Every structure is written in C-alpha cells, then in structure tokens.
A and B are shown apart, each in its own frame.
Chain A
Amino acid sequence: MSTFFQLVIEGLTIGSFYSLVALGYTMVYGIIRLINFAHGDLFMVGAFIGWTVLTTLAATHVPWGLGLLAALVIAMLLTAVLGVAIEKVAYEPLLRSSRLSILITALGVSLALENGVLLIYGPGFNTYPHLLTQAGFSIGGVEINDAQIGMMLLSFLLMLGLYIFVHHTFVGTAMRALAVDQDAARLMGIDVENVIRLTFLLGALLAAAAGVMEGVYYTQINFFMGFLLGLRAFTAAVLGGIGNIPGAMAGGLLIGLLEAFGAGYISSRWTDVFVFAVLIIVLAVKPTGLFGERVVERM
C-alpha cells in the first residue's frame, strides 16, 4: 500500500510539470486551433534563461532565495517576450492560411529553438546549482521530499492564477469569447490579434516557470529537454480535452499518474505503450477527451 501512495506522490510531481506545459498547448489550440509544437521548447528556453541568471548571480553574493526568484521572474518575462515574438513573426502571417502550413512552421520554430540553444550553450548538459534541501519526511513508508511539496504547491498556485485570470478578468473573458467564435468576438470590438498574442504570452510564462522549476528540482538541463516533455504535455492536453483549461491540468496530472503506475506496476519499458493505449481507449469512448466540449472545426 505504501508503494501505491509513493507512486501517487511521484506521479503527481511529474504530472504537475506536464500540466503547466499542457496549459500552453491547450490555450493556443483553443484560440487558433494550432498544435504549437514549439511550446515544449519554450519550456526548455525558460530553463536555460533561469540557469544563466542563477549562475551569474551565484558569482555575486545575492542570497539564493532572491536569486531563485530573480531567475524565475526574468526567465518568465524573457520567454514570454520570445513567445510573443514567435507568434508575431512566424505564426501571425499564416493565421489565414491552411492550418497545416502553420503547423509545419511551428515544427520549424521548434527545431530552430533547439538548435539555437545548442549553438549558444553547446550540445551537452548544463546543471543548476544544488539549491534545494534533500530533507523530507516519511509517512507510513512513503517518502516525501520538502522540495516536492514546494514544486507541486507552486505549480498549483500558477494554475490557479491562470484560472482566475481567464475566468474573472475582462481580458480572460475576451480570450474565452475568441475561443468560441473569432468573428463574433471581432464584431464585439475585441482586438483579436492582441488577445492571440496574450494567449501566447500566458502560455510562455507558464512554460518558462515550469522550465526553471524543472532545472531547480532535477538540476540537469539540455537543449532537447523540451521535446519529450512537450510530447507528453501535448498528450495530456488532448487527454483532458484540448482547448479546455481545467482539462489540461487534469490531463497532465493523469498522464503523470499513468506513467508512475505504468513504471511501478507494469513495466517501465512498456510505460509509454500503456499511456498511449489509455489515451486511445479514452478517445474511442469519449472522442473529445475527458473534459472536452464540442468545438467547431475550422480547417
């Protein structure tokens, strides 16, 4: 039984990273029906910016808590700027074209970000300073790390913030209106282009936060780290019902749990098969994902 709860804790830790990144996929999809393949790489860029800030500050005598906060904030801001810039340069001119051409552009941007970071930081691995305490506690044989709790709490707060923003602010309402009907929203006087940019900005903020958290928690970062995580987060977004914000959060946690149970109870080498099989079964039964609503398709 303690193994079960241990796996639950581990699954939720893994899943909270997926959730944060899945939100970016789902928001962008909800608004412009684009699977933004470059999103996982924004997570990676965030991790690298955070690393640069942290290691630069480590040379000075800034207390590490402050350094961490600075790394988080600067990474989020710069990555958000990058996210919006990508939208402006690479996606906006194609918003009226075929959906697949913008998809391929996103793939190109993804490849460019990965290789851009590779050129700047090199193809190897960079490591964050070991900041977090290894301390933890044990309840009935279940090992829980203090840092684990902190990470989950932080990601929960970020998601809560997003939820409140989307549901209880004017701009958030505009975003949701846009997701339902872009033309109607435009007629209502909503500045569609700006709201789209805002969506990219929010997604990038969360991805960068997840990136820095990943670096701090797992210490090892690499230009390719966004690929696998992006794929999983995308899967999570679809499982939850792509375009649906609570769906992405739940989907991320669920994929984390499935992965933990797959490795813990079935066989680690079959874990991905297990995760995808569950996804396919869910979609066969509920074609729009767990929380998905019917969305009018525009090709």
Chain B
Amino acid sequence: MTNIAATRRGVPYAIAAASILAVVVLPFVSSSYVIDVATTIITFAVLGLGLNIVVGYAGLLDLGYAAFFAIGAYTTALLETLGHQPFWVTLPFSILFAAISGIIIGYPTLRLRSDYLAIVTLGFGEITRIVATNLGITGGPNGIYGIASPTFFGHALASPRAVYELGLGFLAVVLVFTSRLTRTRLGRAWISIREDETAAEAIGIPTLKVKMLAYVMGAVVGGFGGSFFAARFGAIDPTSFTYLQSVTILIIVVLGGMGSTPGVMLGAAIVAGLPEALRFLQLWREFVFAIGLVVLMLVRPQGMWPAPLRRRVTLPPLAAEDESLVPIAVEPGTSDVLLEVDGLSRNFGGVRAVNGVRFGIRRGEILSIIGPNGAGKTTVFNCLTGVIRPTSGRISWLGSSIVGLAPHRVVGLGLSRTFQGVRLFANMTVYENVLVGMEPRYRTSIPAAVLGLHAASEEDRRHLLSCRRLLRFVGLEERAGERAGDLPYGDQRRLEIARALASEPRLLLLDEPAAGMNPTEKRDLMGLIRRIRDGGITVVLIEHDMMLVMGVSDRIIVMDHGEVIAEGTPAEVQRNDRVIDAYLGDDEQETDGELRQEELSAWDS
C-alpha cells in the first residue's frame, strides 16, 4: 500500500470533533438568542454548501442563488397552507421544483461565458423575486403567513431549540450529500471545468452536462434550505430573497474558501454571526463589517479555510513487474485505416487555414505532421477532435463520420489529444488529473457512486489501479499526490500524455510534445512514444523538432499554407523539393500571426 502524503490526518478530525461537540452542547448551555443566531448560521451554511457546488467546485459565478432558496420556501409554504400537506411531504416537492428551475435557467444559458452567465443568473434571481411579489397566489409583497411548524413523531418543532436541532439535521443531510457528491467523479469533473473548461471538454468531460448538473445539485440544496427557512419562520415574503441575499451567500463561499466544506461553514459563521456580535456598534456595524470583509479578503485571498488538495489517496497495489499499458483489444478483420480525412478545409474570416487536406491514418503507426508555423497543423487537430468545425470536408473514424461531434464525444470514440501549451488542471493532484481523463470509461451511474454501491466502488478501485499503472508507465508514480501545477515542465508534459491515455484511446494526437524539452527529455519522450505505439495505440504528432520526428516516425505528412505538400517515410520526405522550399523559402510571417490569433479565439468560443 502506498500511502501518499497522509500528513496531519489527525488535526482536521480533532477540529471536526471539537466543532461537533460544541454544536451539540450549544442548546443546553446558551440562551434562545444565541440558539437563534446559530440557527441562522446553519441556514446560511446549508445555502453556502449548495452554492459551493456551483461556484466553488464548478467555478460558475452565480448571482441569483436566492431564487432556488425562494422556490423551496414558497413550495413548502404553498403546499402547507393551500395543499394542507405536512412539512415532510413538501420537502421532495421543494427539491423537485428547485431542480426543474435549475434546468430551466441552466439549459439555455450554460453555453455563455462565466461573466455573462453571472448576469443571467442575477436576472433570473430578480425575475423570481418580482414574480413572487406580483402574483396573487404567492401573497404578493405580504408573502405567506401561518405555515405550521413541522412535527416530529407528534412533537411540534417550534421552540428555538427544536428548530435549531431540525436545522442541524438539515445541515447534516446536506453535508453528507455534498461531500459524497463531490468525492465522486462528478466532483472531479466540476473541478476540472473550473480549472480549464476547454481542456476538460477535450479530454472527454461532457462539460455542458456537468455544468448543468452543478446547477441542478446547487439548486436542490438551495430548495432544501428554503423549506427549512419557511418552516422556521412560519411566514415568508419576497424581501428575504433579494439579490443582496444571493450576494451574501456568495460572500460566504468565497470568504470561507471555495470548494472547502469547513471553509464554507466558517464563512457562514462569520457572515451571519459577526454582525450579531457587532450589534453594540449600531449604525457603525455594517461599516465595520464591510471593512472587516475587505481586510479578510486581502489577508487571505484564498479564503479563511481554503480547500486542501486531495492528497490523501491510497492507490491499489500493482505487481512490481507490471509496466505495460493494458493492450487495446484490436477488432480483428476491420480495415487497416483508422481515420480518413478528405477535402478538409477551414476558413477563419477570409483566411483559408486548411485547404482541401486529404490523408489517412493507419492502425499502429506513428505519423508526424510537420510544416512551418501557420501551416494549419493545429487547425487540422482541432477539426479532428471536434474543437472547431471544418468549413467543408469529410472526417471518418472507422468508416463513420465524426464531423460535428462535440469534443468529448470524439474522445469517447477513441481519439485523445494533448495541447500545444500544457493545459493541465493545475490545482488538482497528479493522480486526479489522470482520473479525470478516465471519465469516458465510467459505466456506473453517478447516483450509484453517491450511494456507494458495490459496483461503483469496484469500478473506482479498477480505475485507481489503472491510474497507478498509467503513472508508472510515464514515470510519475512517485509524484501521484503532488499538485500538478508544481511539477517540473517535462513531468507536466508526461502527465498530459498520461491523462490523454486515461480514456484508453486508439489514436493519440500529440501537439508539439517536445516543445521546451532538453535533449535528454526528448530522448525519453521518443521512447515513451514508441512504448505507447507498442501498447497498441496509434500515435499522430505535430512536431518541429526534426531529430525527434525523423527518429520516431513511420510516416510523415508535410503541410504548408494549409495544404499537404508531401507525404512519405522520413527518408522520402527529406529528399522532397517542395519540402525543402517550404522550410527554406520566404516565410510569410504576417499571415502567420494572424492565423494564430484567430485560432486562439476559436479555442475560447
């Protein structure tokens, strides 16, 4: 058993135990007022944990979270007062309606960039509040009165202490739910899109779906919290669900520490508790609170209790001699050609970056695409992997077209890639980067993972095993628990390859893998590429380093000005006149720069 970086395990547990003790003992030693403040803190902690999924994990700025809170509260209030349903019966409906509204807001808008998304959520929050204020059924600005206290085995939960304990129950449920949820592959997928959405999509994460799930899960927790709010006060009105309320919850998450459960709870304690502690300041208290907020953020920009890296992992043991990739089962009898490209063109504005390119990729070969800067090589990669759509042309994978598929679907079919500049998920550990890359291979459902069903944990174990094997394969086994962004450059490159291999591709596309490497590293890279091919994976690389290209390639395609100008074995290509021209002739630098700019922006669309 390799126990990676199990540092200071005891300390968080000690703090947790002390906090739990304090929280349980509180109602017996303090006044109703303190209990009421604690209940408010609990309410905000629940909401903070919900928003933490959206903001802290998935990195989506949400300025209208109070809407879900409102929907939950109004659902409970209306079902109790008009539908005469007991509190507990209203709960599933709150959750359901909040989830539906999460889908309604999420579906049309999640394609937006983060800051545009922020204003849409703000608008959604305001619309929800105004609708509640204007409609008759929601009681207009009066809101809804006379919501009965929930009962628990015949006991009305109305006293401050009972409500506090009910709140603790709610908090416990939310804690278990969110911590289980974020520990599954969904949690990893959220962090990966927060770190680098484009890279996540390109290695096989269905980013739209994952973002949508973040919204829905956040909404579910918000609705749940709303029900508690309605039960606590027995009366609700629209002024509790303003934009300022959304902002307060956001402050809790960021001040506490994005993605950090104890941080969010600490944030809730500060944001809901500090103004109470400052009551004696009267008119000054909000000012002092505001200054305190600014100072705290300046002193601790990562939050009061930032989320730790998930270093603690026990990778399953691996036989000492197991150094191979798991060979890919090659379907017998299928054609020798994996991928065929015909007439592929792509325009950027008026510039034709790729023009009628045609080539095939054969099973089991190492193919290099070379050419001067701006020749259109990366554009070809981007077309193959679905990152950009070709203007015209055909791309067929094992006989069927893959034009127009989303990048993550292309990965699912067996095409995997790395990037020109390293695009790792820097704030995740090495092994997590690889695990994220395994997303397309998961077969068990997320609910199964949340519930910890045997099939799901069995699958997790298998993937951890395969993760370890991959890390050993690229020589990073010892660094599994480190932060990916802290690795030296060459290791980052190798990790990117391991991450791309994690989806068990049949074709691996490497975009300038040797860029920035020293000669020793390049030699190692050559060996690695050969071993990948020997494991049964076809490799295509874009590379400028001729030593590497000539040393490793079975076949070379040369591109210039968006066209294929030569194709053949290394020896053939080296003798080709057009190739020599292209490399020695006058290089048009201007169009070059323009192209790169265009391509950059295409990446960010």
Residues of B within 8 A of A112 (CB): 287, 290-291, 294
Q: Is B123 an interface residue (CB 8 A)?
A: yes
Residues of B within 8 A of A276 (CB): 123-124, 126-127
- The 0/1 profile, CB within 8 Å of B marked 1, for residues 104-120 of chain A is 11011111101110110
- CB-based contact A29/B258 at 8 Å: no
Residues of A within 8 A of B133 (CB): 269
- CB-based contact A242/B290 at 8 Å: no
- The 0/1 profile, CB within 8 Å of B marked 1, for residues 72-114 of chain A is 0000000000000000001001100110111111011111101
Stretch in B16-24, B75-83, B174-182, B297-305 touching the partner = B297-305
Residues of A within 8 A of B112 (CB): 283, 287
In the complex formed, the residue of A with least CB distance to B604 is A296
A120 CB → nearest B CB, Å? 10
A102 to B294, CA, bound (A): 9
- The 0/1 profile, CB within 8 Å of B marked 1, for residues 43-61 of chain A is 0000000000000000000
Q: Given A101-B302, A272-B126, A280-B109, A107 and B604 touching (CB < 8 A)? A: no
Stretch in A8-16, A158-166, A207-215, A231-239 touching the partner = A231-239
Q: B130 contacts which of A103, A123, A270 (Cβ < 8 Å)? A: A270
In the complex formed, the residue of A with least CB distance to B111 is A287
Q: Is B277 an interface residue (CB 8 A)?
A: no
Q: Given A242-B115, A280-B120, A294-B601, A107 and B293 touching (CB < 8 A)? A: yes
A284 to B55, CA, bound (A): 21
Q: Given A94-B298, A108-B294, A296-B601, A100 and B130 touching (CB < 8 A)? A: no
- The 0/1 profile, CB within 8 Å of B marked 1, for residues 21-50 of chain A is 000000001000101000000000000000
Residues of A within 8 A of B108 (CB): 280, 284
> Which residues between 129 and 171 of chain B lie within 8 Å of chain A, taking CB atoms?
130-131, 133-134
- CB-based contact B134/A119 at 8 Å: no
Residues of B within 8 A of A272 (CB): 126-127, 130
In the complex formed, the residue of A with least CB distance to B289 is A111
> Which residues between 260 and 299 of chain A lie within 8 Å of chain B, taking CB atoms?
269-270, 272-273, 276-277, 279-280, 283-284, 287-289, 294-297, 299
In the complex formed, the residue of A with least CB distance to B63 is A35
- CB-based contact A238/B116 at 8 Å: yes
In the complex formed, the residue of A with least CB distance to B296 is A108
- CB-based contact A101/B293 at 8 Å: no
- CB-based contact B287/A115 at 8 Å: yes
> Which residues between 118 and 134 of chain A lie within 8 Å of chain B, taking CB atoms?
118-119, 123
A284 to B302, CA, bound (A): 33
- CB-based contact A115/B290 at 8 Å: yes
A217 CB → nearest B CB, Å? 26
A33 to B291, CA, bound (A): 23
Q: A108 contacts which of B109, B123, B134, B293 (Cβ < 8 Å)? A: B293
Q: Given A112-B294, A279-B123, A297-B114, A97 and B302 touching (CB < 8 A)? A: yes
Q: Is B59 an interface residue (CB 8 A)?
A: yes
- CB-based contact A288/B116 at 8 Å: yes
Q: B286 contacts which of A94, A100, A102, A111 (Cβ < 8 Å)? A: A111
In the complex formed, the residue of A with least CB distance to B601 is A294
A94 to B293, CA, bound (A): 14
A234 to B61, CA, bound (A): 15
Q: Is B37 an interface residue (CB 8 A)?
A: no
- The 0/1 profile, CB within 8 Å of A marked 1, for residues 17-41 of chain B is 0000000000000000000000000
In the complex formed, the residue of A with least CB distance to B125 is A276
Residues of A within 8 A of B298 (CB): 90, 93-94, 105
Q: B127 contacts which of A235, A242, A277 (Cβ < 8 Å)? A: A277
Most buried by B among A94, A102, A296, A299: A299
Q: Is B605 an interface residue (CB 8 A)?
A: yes
- The 0/1 profile, CB within 8 Å of A marked 1, for residues 238-261 of chain B is 000001000100110011001000
Q: B134 contacts which of A90, A123, A270, A277 (Cβ < 8 Å)? A: A270
> Which residues between 230 and 257 of chain A lie within 8 Å of chain B, taking CB atoms?
231, 234-235, 238, 242
Q: A104 contacts which of B122, B254, B291, B601 (Cβ < 8 Å)? A: B254
In the complex formed, the residue of A with least CB distance to B194 is A299
In the complex formed, the residue of A with least CB distance to B120 is A280
Residues of A within 8 A of B243 (CB): 231
Q: Given A94-B298, A100-B254, A296-B601, A283 and B286 touching (CB < 8 A)? A: no
Residues of A within 8 A of B119 (CB): 234-235, 238, 279, 283
Residues of B within 8 A of A90 (CB): 294, 298
Residues of B within 8 A of A277 (CB): 123, 127
In the complex formed, the residue of B with least CB distance to A276 is B123
A2 to B298, CA, bound (A): 54
In the complex formed, the residue of B with least CB distance to A279 is B123
> Which residues between 274 and 331 of chain B lie within 8 Å of chain A, taking CB atoms?
283-284, 286-287, 289-291, 293-294, 297-298, 301-303
B60 CB → nearest A CB, Å? 11
- CB-based contact A297/B604 at 8 Å: yes
In the complex formed, the residue of B with least CB distance to A117 is B287
A92 CB → nearest B CB, Å? 10
Residues of B within 8 A of A289 (CB): 116
Q: Is B600 an interface residue (CB 8 A)?
A: yes
A233 CB → nearest B CB, Å? 12
A283 to B118, CA, bound (A): 12
- CB-based contact B291/A287 at 8 Å: no
Q: Given A273-B130, A288-B116, A101 and B290 touching (CB < 8 A)? A: no
Q: B115 contacts which of A35, A280, A294 (Cβ < 8 Å)? A: A35
- CB-based contact A94/B301 at 8 Å: yes
A33 to B286, CA, bound (A): 27
In the complex formed, the residue of B with least CB distance to A292 is B116
Residues of B within 8 A of A103 (CB): 61, 254
Other A-B contacts than A235-B122, A280-B108, 9 sampled, CB-CB below 8 A, are: A104-B255, A104-B293, A107-B293, A118-B283, A272-B130, A273-B127, A283-B109, A294-B605, A299-B59
11 contacts between A and B (CB under 8 A): A100-B61, A104-B250, A104-B251, A109-B294, A115-B290, A270-B130, A273-B127, A283-B109, A287-B112, A287-B113, A294-B605
3 A-B pairs with the lowest CB-CB distances in the bound complex, closest first: A276-B123, A111-B290, A108-B293
